[in-house]
Structures are given as C-alpha cells and as structure tokens.
Structure 1
Amino acid sequence: MADAQSGAPSALLAEIEAAYVSPFGPGSLPSRPRTLKSPPNFMLLVSHGAACDSFPIVAHAYHRLAEEGIPPTVLIIGTNHRCLGANIALSRRPWRSPLGTSQVDTELLQSFLDSGYVVDEQGHAAEHSIENQLPFLQHLAPEVRILALGLAQLSFAEAQNLARDVARITADRNVLILATTDYLHAGEGYYDQPPRGLHLHEFIRQRDAPVLAAVAALDSELLLRTAGATGMCGLWPAVVLLLAAQELGFTECQLLKYAVSGEARAC
C-alpha cells in the first residue's frame, strides 16, 4: 500500500472508515452493498493516490458503488507509471492487501488473452494505481474478483482498439469497469510549479478544470488535447474508459468529488 500506516489490517480498516466520514468524504459509512445481478449501467474513474490524501475522495465512488450494487467482477484499468514491460499488460496473479486476497476472474482474463492481449507482471509488480483500489473493494465485498489491466504509453489508435475490445468482452458480462487517474501533479518534487503569487492549490485547480470538463463531456479526443496542454497522471486509463463508455452507449457523466490532494491530506 502507498501509506506505511496501512500495513496492519486494523490500521487500514480504520483509514477506510475514517475516509468515509472525513469532511472531504461522503459523510457516512456505506450500507451493506447488495450483489448486482445484471451488468452495471455505470463506470467509475477514481484517484490512485496515497491513502492519506486521496482516500476521502475515493470514498465517494465506493459509497456510490455500495448504493448501486457490486457486480461479482471488477476490471481495474490502471497506469503503468514506470512503463515497465508491455504497454497493455494483464495480470493473472491474485492481488493481496492487508484486508485479504482478491482472486482473478480467469474467464474474463482468458477472453482478453484470446483477443491477443498478454500477461506481463513486470509493470504490475512495482505499481500502486490498481493496488490502491483493493482495500475499498475488499471492505465492501471480500469475495469480489478482479482483472488488472495496466497501461503505459499508448497511441490513440491503440486506445481505441483496446476500448472496443473492453466493450465487446464485457458487454454481456456482469463486470464493473473502473479506471484510475490523479490529474495534475504539481508543487514540490514535480516539474509543474505555480507562477509567483498564485497558490499551488489554485494553480492545480485551474490546470485541472479543462481536463475535468473533457471527462464530463465524455470526449476522449478533447481529453487528449487538454491533458497534453495541462498534464494528467493516468491519462490513458481515462481515455480508454471514455472510449469504452461511448462504445457501450453511455451518454452522461457525474462528478462525485474533486479535491486537490493537499487540501484533504491527513498525513
């Protein structure tokens, strides 16, 4: 996990519950979720940041997931930050967190393998963008299965092909498609810095605003243009999610919560 305090199950559980009731969280613990019996009519785009500054924001998505119902399988599309191994990489290993082990949906995995995609654990081994979703999923539904799909740098044509395959493979399956991003990274330790006189948080909000607008419009090409101009960590999972949403006939996007990580930081 991305936060050293999360190593013990009790500590991680406390962080999750605190995130739900945080001033930046949804304000209450989720009700016991029902199992979704038919394919979900929604997707999720969530943060993959560290527990101490993203968990309250992420909690909004999982609170809504509990309300809507949880399907038996979640396809998690994450970022391969270090661009290790294949540009589009599946994982066949079970994924562990202090709260338990998430098994892989082997039938879903095989469908992707049959479509020409490959298993490559190299990028997944040192990656947090998918891993950081496990505590919330396991807290809500310990038996949920997953399939991890890591993306490094893609071309738009590759993203389109992948999105078509994601839509085709999941269309008749009871699978939630979830992608992760973190929008702009700026401030100490990063390339992007606010100009003199502009507070860092306001700088980030200004840079993120057109990116959020592109996501809200379900416009993948606009997202590519705006993210290229402003910066976005986790661009390709978001692009593939939007393209898959179009393939599956989704027409609306709702912003559940946005905040700059430093605003919500608890560490």
Structure 2
Amino acid sequence: MRQTTVAGQFYPQNPKSLKKELSRCFKDVAISEEPILGAVVPHAGYIYSGEVAAHAYARLPKADTYILFGPNHTGYGSAVALSQDSWTTPLGVIETDREIGKQLAGSIIDFDELAHHFEHSIEVQIPFLQYRFGNDFSILPICMGLQDEETAMEVGVEVARAVKATGKKVVFIASSDFTHYQPDSVAKEQDTYLIEAILDMDIPEFYRRREERSISACGFGPIASMLAATKELGASKASLIKYATSGDVSGDTSRVVGYAAITIE
C-alpha cells in the first residue's frame, strides 16, 4: 500500500476538509465530459494550482484507468518507475491496473515502488480523480527521473502499445508545473512560448524550445510521454484551457511558478 506523503502539506489530510477544498477548486468550473485522451495538469499545493487543475479534470471522461506520468523530484528509485501498489488518499484506496502493467514487463519501464514513496507529483492528482469519479477506476502511476526526448517518446509509445493490447478505455495525465521562480511577466512569456509547441503536439519542437530558453518546466518528460501516447491512439487536437501563476493567488509577482491545464483529444 502506497501511503500518502504530502497530505496535510499540499492538500488537507482530513477527508471533509479535502472535499471542501476540492469543491472550492471546482467552484467556477463547469463539469462537461469530453472525448479527451490526455491532459497536462499542475502539481503544486491546491491553494496555488488547484483551480487550474480543476479546469482540466472537469472535462475528463470516465475511464477504466488513468495513466499518470509524473517527474521524479526526489532522485530515489528507477529512472522510469511503474508502481503496482494500491494507493491510498484521505478519500480512499485506489488500485493500480496490473493488467496494463503486465504488458509493460521487459520494457524501458521498471516495476519499482521506491521512486514513488516520497514523490508528490502523482499523489496530488488522485483526489481530483476521486472527486470526479469516486473510487471506481484504476491508475497506472509512472514516475520519470529520466526525461530526455528519446526516453519520453519510448515510454509513451510502450504504454500506448500496452493499452491497445488490453482494449481498455484510458486517459493519459501528465503532471507538470511550468516556469519556476521568475518574475510573473517572464514566466508568462516563457510558458506561452513552450505551450505553443504542446498545442502543436510537436515533441521535438517542445524539447527545442525548452532547451533554447532553459525553461524550468519540471515535468517535460511526462508531457512528452503523454503526447506520444495520445498520438499513438489517434489524438490530433490540443487545447489550452487555463493558465495562471502562483502570483495570481499570493499577490507576489516577483518570483512565481506557472501552471497550465491543457487537454488532448
């Protein structure tokens, strides 16, 4: 059982308080299930990025399994690590999809729990899914310490292959914040430039732009894996639903973090 690591820090530990906080995040967002195959969502504390994340989660369809790609901030565990443990949050226990997982045996993706133990980027997504869909779904959590273009593409293609083999309905979710600790105007300019490549679903150009301007989006590998996987399953359209920075909440625009909700269909 993978226990919560950041409950009480990134989001409330008390189930009632957590539901209240999630209700706040969704307050101004219309729930409308759309034929979405993938999404990019932020992973900061809910007070900062929860409303942005809700703009993507409000549009997700019900699926058998939500495949969660997140960056490895801790350095623990395998370079590309799949968890097969059950995951618990204050809202209950969610099972991992071992059927899809089994299809990934022998691929670039290792079965490894250590990479997930202290990592927040995937954990913070699960209560959003529980808020929308109860506990009637599975997850496939993939934590990426290695995020180069070749690895990310291979991960996405391999996971798409595994999904096709099972015939399950899935949604791919990439967990990433964008520019870190820059003035608000700089963050918005940098992130607009990088997000354009995501909206074009152009993975090589996405990497080129990120490297050209040294843009500090932490989950660039997960974003690329999600794009590669959704393209394998026929996705052809990306939409920016919401962009904001931490400065919009804190009022401090001198050093902000950028957040985006992007959907792929």
Q: Report the counterpart of residue 184 of structure 2 in structure 1.
A: 201
**Match in the other structure for 2:169:** 174
3 and 261 in structure 1: CA distance in 2 versus 1, 3 angstrom threshold = farther
The alignment's TM-score, normalised by the length of structure 2, stands at: 0.84
* Matching residue's letter, 1:233: C
Report Cα offsets for 1:97-134 as digits up to 9, x if no partner: 11111111111111112545321111111111100111
For the structure 1 residues 221 and 116, does the alpha-carbon distance in structure 2 shift closer, same or farther, using more than 3 Å as the test?
A: closer
Larger radius of gyration: 1
| Structure 1: distance between partners of 2:65 and 2:172 | 9
Q: What is the count of residue pairs matched by the alignment?
A: 240
Q: Deviations over 1:158-208 (max 9, x none)?
A: 22221211221123321111111101111xxxxxx4xxxxxx211210111
Unaligned runs of 5+ in 1: 187-192, 194-199
Residue in 1 aligned with 2:198?
215
Q: Where do residues 175-190 of structure 1 align in structure 2 (5 Å cutoff)?
A: 175-186=170-181
Counterparts of 1:1-267 in structure 2, within 5 Å, are 1=6, 3-4=8-9, 6-21=12-27, 25-26=28-29, 28=30, 30=31, 41-65=36-60, 69-115=61-107, 117-141=109-133, 142-171=135-164, 172-186=167-181, 193=182, 200-228=183-211, 229=213, 230-265=215-250
Greater CA drift, 243-252 or 211-220: 243-252
8 A contact 2:71–2:175 mirrored in 1: yes
Q: Which has the higher strand share?
A: 2
Are 2:36 and 2:59, in contact at CA under 8 Å, matched by a contact in 1? no
Structural RMSD (CA): 2.0
**Percent identity at matched positions?**
30
Alpha carbons of 1:59 and 1:8: their partners in 2 closer, same or farther (altered >3 Å)? same
* 3-state SS in 1 of match to 2:174: strand
